[in-house]
A and B are shown apart, each in its own frame.
Chain A
């Protein structure tokens, strides 16, 4: 299986901050990386697919970048509704795997 490692595992930030979350794959996955947001008690929500494509309806303050083994999710100006846990997921291998998550908390 391809292992996905996210960092940090948690972070504290304020409304308006720029936030960057990193996801690293154990081998090259080219650009086949997706990002999800999960609010407590809710199902995950797709934010970004294919490393940098914004899912329809997702605010433009969310962006993704990277290729190969290193990827980032950036929130340009953190909003109150963005406090959640974020997961990356690789789609290079037929055996799909998720990262461990990054919890974004209010400072």
Chain B
């Protein structure tokens, strides 16, 4: 059974960098079968795709796709030795307060079939 678990600080100050990690069990990030993605949900609002990455064999840089509205601030990277992938979002504001989900992104159909439980990140001083 594939499981994903987000981890990271629950509180980030404005203008700083939000950093989250998603640890995967039951599947291998380095297997090249899937993308791995991040989706967020502001309180009482809908879902927003942040970006997804694909392990290309050397690093993630050749296989990443980002939401255009966030692209300038987002980096997704992977650590195959720990079977986890990470999200960095720079220069955060209160508008970045949300529950952040990691998910397995099925590349053949571009949908998300396994999700983490989500982690709330609040941006506040």
Contact = CB atoms under 8 A, between A and B. Distances in A.
Interface of A: 1, 32, 34, 36, 42-46, 49-50, 55, 87, 89, 91, 94-101
Interface in B21-53: 39, 46-49, 52
Interface residues of B, number: 22
Nearest to B71: A95
Nearest to A53: B109
Chain A interface SS verdict (over half): loop
B65 A49 contact: no
B49 A34 contact: no
A101 B46 contact: yes
B81 to A, nearest CB: 26
Contact of B110 (A32, A43, A55, A98): A32
Contact of A43 (B48, B67, B68, B116): B116
